Amino acid sequence: MTTQGFSAHDGDNPRKNPGVAEESHAGTDEKILPQTQAQAGETQRLAADNPAHIAHAAELLRAGKLVAIPTETVYGLAANALDPQAVASIFAAKGRPQDNPLIVHVSSVKNALPLVKECSATAHLLARHFWPGPLTIILPKSNLVPSIVSAGLSTVALRVPAHPAALALLNACQLPLAAPSANTSGKPSPTLASHVLDDMDGKIAAVLDGGPCAVGVESTVLSLTSETPLLLRPGGIPLVKLQALLGKIDVSPAVTQALQPGETAHSPGMKYKHYAPQAALTLVNGDLQSFLNYANTIKPDGLLCFDEDGVGLAYGAQNDPAAQAAQLFARLREIDERGWQTVLVRCPAPEGVGLAVYNRLLRAAAFREITL
Ligand code: TXA
Ligand code: MG
């Protein structure tokens, strides 16, 4: 699209609930029909609400294969966490740097315990409140966790996902599952099975289609390896909820700032380019009118705006961070489908889940942010 002039009535997105409502659920989408028999090298499409398909996915995982699975946050690319070869194939399929450790998913605290050296009272408290759910806890690891999972670190990241299909699969395979987001490294995380296939078709054994991910941004990552808990990545559980339970929490500077030259990342994932579409994004703070005036001056290819702005591509209402989170990654993928090279983005308020939305957008924009 070339910009003839932006005004508040040329919205590109007339759909009521973009990115969520229009996408069909497992088994109803033509493109993702349940299909358990596939040729070698083909990615099987499985339905998350079909118990036979869950059982088949569990078999594939037990055989050391990769299966993309729905979680409440984003789709994960799962493998047996205790099988170093299977885990190595996750890194290969994603093109993920070897020094970026993986989250291990388990079905219960009981199944997490063998993977850690010690589980503090704080960890138990957090687990009681937020598991199953979008919180990842980092603890000293036991020898059971292969070093490829933790990328050589002495810690392990653990989470009990809340999605019923993820839990059913964990119970069916009886394995801890290492699972990063199921995107090609650096690209926006997948919130639909079709996003997974866009990146992984032919590279993985199967995708379990559970429809759109409800939360839409990844889990909150909290390290419990120092005296004061440290937030490494904002996510589905808002920081204020953790503070309400634990009191003081340190926030890694990497949450809102680019890593400075020579600085070591607390979380290796923080140092890599992330969530980025091909397009160059710029986050813009200011009211709608100033935003439109600015857009008409610099004439970007497209705009990413709030629903009520009535202009550009919409990613949720301004005061609804949960809706923004649910739609963000689908919108970032859509920007590339439209071939936009330059995009101005209405900056979200970094509060509640909005901190995660802001954090992802900031990285997608390579930290380009302006205030009008
Ligand atoms: O919601 C989620 O967390 C999704 C779903 C699939 O569970 N998974 C996910 O994984 O987002 P991934 O690999 O895309 O992001 C994991 C983040 C990375 O930034 C990684 O560096 C960090 O967690 N991480 C993993 N293990 C760590 C460790 N032992 N110490 C510090 N950071 C760690
Ligand atoms: Mg990721």
**Which CATH number do you get for residue 145?**
3.90.870.10
Q: How many domains, the chain?
A: 2
Decide: 311 and 292 in contact? Cβ < 8 Å. Answer: yes
The helix (H) or strand (E) run that includes residue 40 is none
Q: Is the CB of 205 under 6 A from ligand 1?
A: no
Distance, CA of 199 to CA of 187 (rounded, Å): 9
Predicted confidence (pLDDT) per residue in 17-43, tens digit: 333 333 334 443 433 444 444 455 799
Of 209, 241, 260, which one is at a domain's C-terminal end? 209
Q: Is the CB of 136 under 6 A from ligand 1?
A: yes
Distance, CA of 73 to CA of 337 (rounded, Å): 23
Structural domain including 37 reads 30-209
d(CA 195, ligand 2 centre) in Å: 13
Q: Which is more confidently placed, 4 or 371?
A: 371
Of 209, 232, 265, which one is at a domain's C-terminal end? 209
Pick the residue whose CA is nearest to atom 32 on ligand 1. Answer: 267
**Looking at the predicted structure, is the pLDDT value of residue 1 above 50?**
no
Q: If you average pLDDT over every residue of the chain, what do you get?
A: 90
- Residue 245 within any structural domain of the chain: no
Q: Is the CB of 101 under 6 A from ligand 1?
A: yes
Phi first, then psi: what are they for 179, rounded to 5°?
-155, 105
Atom of ligand 1 nearest to the CA of 236: 1
Predicted confidence (pLDDT) per residue in 55-65, tens digit: 999 999 999 99
- Residue 216 within any structural domain of the chain: no
DSSP E strands in the chain: the ranges are 44-47, 67-69, 76-80, 103-105, 135-140, 155-159, 177-178, 206-209, 220-223, 230-233, 250-251, 280-285, 302-305, 313-314, 342-346, 369-371
Q: Is the CB of 123 under 6 A from ligand 1?
A: no
Is 347 found in the same domain as 200? no
pTM above 0.75, yes or no: yes
Please enumerate in sequence order all residues whose Cβ is within 8 A of that of 265, keeping only pairs 6 or more positions apart, or say none. 254, 259, 271
Predicted confidence (pLDDT) per residue in 69-118, tens digit: 999 999 999 999 999 999 999 999 999 999 999 999 999 999 999 999 99
Is 331 found in the same domain as 185? no
Decide: 301 and 1 in contact? Cβ < 8 Å. Answer: yes
Q: Is the CB of 350 under 6 A from ligand 1?
A: no
- Residue 330 within any structural domain of the chain: yes
DSSP code, position 312 = B
Predicted confidence (pLDDT) per residue in 177-205, tens digit: 999 999 999 999 999 999 999 999 999 99
